[in-house]
Amino acid sequence: MNIYLIRHGRQNSKLCNVDVELSPEGREQADLVGKRLQTYHIDAVYSSQLIRAKETADIINKYLNKPRVIEERIQEANFGAMTGMTNEAIDEKYGDYLAQRSTMTTDMTYPDGENCQMVYERAKAGLDDIVKDSLEKGYENICIVTHGGVLRALVTGIMGAPYKNWLAVGRQIENCSISQLLYD
């Protein structure tokens, strides 16, 4: 089975991990990836419940017209106390944390949030259930619209890399990029 992991389109806010709709550019990105996926023989489209992922998946599915499923465990990492803050406010309030995290010597938890291992375990459980459901239905190609942190955590965990290095994995995962996993 081919699993196409897609990061949602550009969102309509610069605040940390707020649940908002896509920007006009994000809708255009989703439209373009939907057109591209028409040739991938997708059997179903999954997404997290966050607005930006749902909207991306719905735009993609206009071109595919396949079953749509929400899987809450593939939502973005919990940024805890940083949620809703600007980058400047995060730098000011959590500068020491960010400096320590950038050393990648440990898998640091976001203040009152998650770390890579927590995101991986949650998202991997969701991915496992998606795969199980897809195999039972005979699907060969599925599309999963999720988030940058989830993509980094999944790739880190699946590769068996140390969780502390997750920020270096897929450092520039672009909006509406496609990452392919082959499930065998």
User: By three-state DSSP, how is residue 65 classified?
Assistant: coil
| 72 counts as catalytic | no
C-alpha closest to that of 121 among 154, 164, 160, 78: 154
Catalytic (active site) residue 76: yes
What count of residues does the chain have? 184
Task: Considering the candidates 8, 55, 71, 114, report the single residue annotated as catalytic.
Answer: 8
Strand order in the sheet with 44-47: 68-70, 44-47, 141-146, 2-7, 178-182
CB 66 within 8 A of CB 38: no
Q: Which of 55, 76, 114, 147 is catalytic?
A: 76
Catalytic center residues: 8, 76
